Structure 1
Amino acid sequence: MTVWSEARLVAALSQAASPSSDYDLNPDAAPPTAPPAAPLRAAGVLAAFHADDGRLVLTKRASGLRHHPGQIALPGGKVDPGDRDAIAAALREAREEVALDPAQVRILGTLPPHRTVTGFSVTPVIAVIDGAFTPLPEAGEVEEAFTLPFSHIADPARYRIERRRWRGGWRSYHAAPYGPYYLWGATARILLGLAQRLAP
């Protein structure tokens, strides 16, 4: 079993790593990145672990949303004009989506950006939640807010590669299901990158 340790998390963030992408398993499907390709939109997501036992806050996105409806996701969203950076965007969105007070959040660092099929460059922000916190889902945006144990998130062996039909072809993707929660796609790829850095 992978045991929660904030010190291990800090050490993992000090390791060099490369950016990831929704196209990692499907390089032939990747669109061009050189001009005149459309620029990626900046976004931030918050991977916030409870300080006491390392359980991670996640959401199930509402089915009516434009991007990634119904998927398991880290709280977060695009960087708005009023946001200083992706960290500020992740904190703002976490407050809106699950009522997480930024005063309870200690930022440990960030992972390399992740490129999504929807045209975002997502910066994963790794943090710890101090004190008691019960996530409250934002009506209309979040169908459910919940936590998954650190032992699941931090174990690379929990992640597998699956595939499904997408835009007329087969698309492979990472998945790490847990009970009723089907963790997959960009969120699973981001968390796998962290799990690989946490591995002994």
Structure 2
Amino acid sequence: MGRPIDLDGICAALAATPPRPSSDYDLNPDIVLPEGRVLKPAAVLIGVQAGRVILTKRASHLAHHPGQIAFPGGKVDATDADPVAAALREAQEEIGLDPGAVEVVATMPAHETVTGYMVNPVIARISEDFRPTPEPGEVAEVFRVPLPLLMDPAAYRVEHRRWRGVWRRYYVVPYGPYYIWGATARMLRTLADRVAP
């Protein structure tokens, strides 16, 4: 019998299984990464509200990742005490999430992206009365995806496309009209693999 697919079950799974670092290169073992590369620290909030994960659709006019699905988050600033503080600050800026409505319950190993970031995922319980206010300069839409779907490894598929002249494979987890892929899907799949029995 598997663990319950709720936040408490996820926390139990994280405590019981060894950490598994992930990266955008997991499905592309033929890519050779340069030694001594410098990665920029970042953090994202995997916020769970009433059994659903909060995600954003980035504004279409942004220079980086326009229109893509992402967690609230961004670069760790010099004024941030740690990645958790950065994730909470970014969530407040992007979707109006008051840190007082957040209970941080776990963190995951950092995830390396093809764009040169080392992203720290922060898992949190969000108050049920929170109503998001998207920051129009960054966020086109805020939506929620059922946690059981995202915690089911069978919901994910692998697709590929050319990137910087080479074919690159990546995870996708479709949900209605939303195409969740790349680093966001990879971090969720890493979590799903740890929760799965």
- Give the structure-1-normalised TM-score: 0.92
Which residue in the other structure is 2:13 paired with?
12
Q: What letter matches 1:140 in structure 2?
A: G
Aligned partner of 1:155 among 152, 155, 161? 152
Q: Give matches, 1:92-107, under 5 Å.
A: 92-107=89-104
Aligned partner of 1:83 among 59, 80, 91? 80
Q: What letter matches 2:41 in structure 1?
A: A
* Shift of residue 121, structure 1, vs aligned partner: 0.2
| Alpha-carbon separation, structure 2, partners of 1:23 and 1:69 | 21
3-state DSSP class of the match of 2:194?
helix
Which residue in the other structure is 1:44 paired with?
43
**Percent of paired sites with the same residue:** 57
3-state DSSP class of the match of 1:135?
coil
Q: What letter matches 1:128 in structure 2?
A: R
Contact 2:44 2:74 in 1 (8 A): yes
Which residue in the other structure is 1:26 paired with?
28
Q: Does 1:122 align with 2:123?
A: no
Which residue in the other structure is 1:173 paired with?
170
| Alpha-carbon separation, structure 2, partners of 1:73 and 1:137 | 13
| Alpha-carbon separation, structure 2, partners of 1:172 and 1:131 | 36
| Alpha-carbon separation, structure 1, partners of 2:182 and 2:48 | 20
Which residue in the other structure is 2:187 paired with?
190
Contact 2:6 2:147 in 1 (8 A): no
Q: What letter matches 2:20 in structure 1?
A: S
Contact 2:56 2:70 in 1 (8 A): yes
Q: Alpha carbon RMSD of aligned pairs, Å?
A: 1.4
| Alpha-carbon separation, structure 1, partners of 2:166 and 2:23 | 18
3-state DSSP class of the match of 1:87?
helix
Paired residues in the alignment total 194
| Alpha-carbon separation, structure 1, partners of 2:23 and 2:59 | 23
Report runs of 4+ in structure 1 exceeding 3 Å deviation.
none
Q: Which runs of 5+ in 1 are unaligned?
A: none
3-state DSSP class of the match of 2:183?
helix
| Alpha-carbon separation, structure 1, partners of 2:19 and 2:154 | 19
Deviations 1:112-160 (A, max 9, x none): 1100011100000011012311222111101111111112111111011
Which residue in the other structure is 1:132 paired with?
129
Q: Is the deviation greater in 136-145 or in 64-73?
A: 64-73
* Shift of residue 66, structure 1, vs aligned partner: 2.8
Q: More strand by proportion, 1 or 2?
A: 2
Aligned partner of 1:146 among 140, 143, 152? 143
Contact 1:12 1:194 in 2 (8 A): no
Q: What letter matches 1:46 in structure 2?
A: L
Q: What letter matches 2:19 in structure 1?
A: A
Q: What letter matches 2:11 in structure 1?
A: V
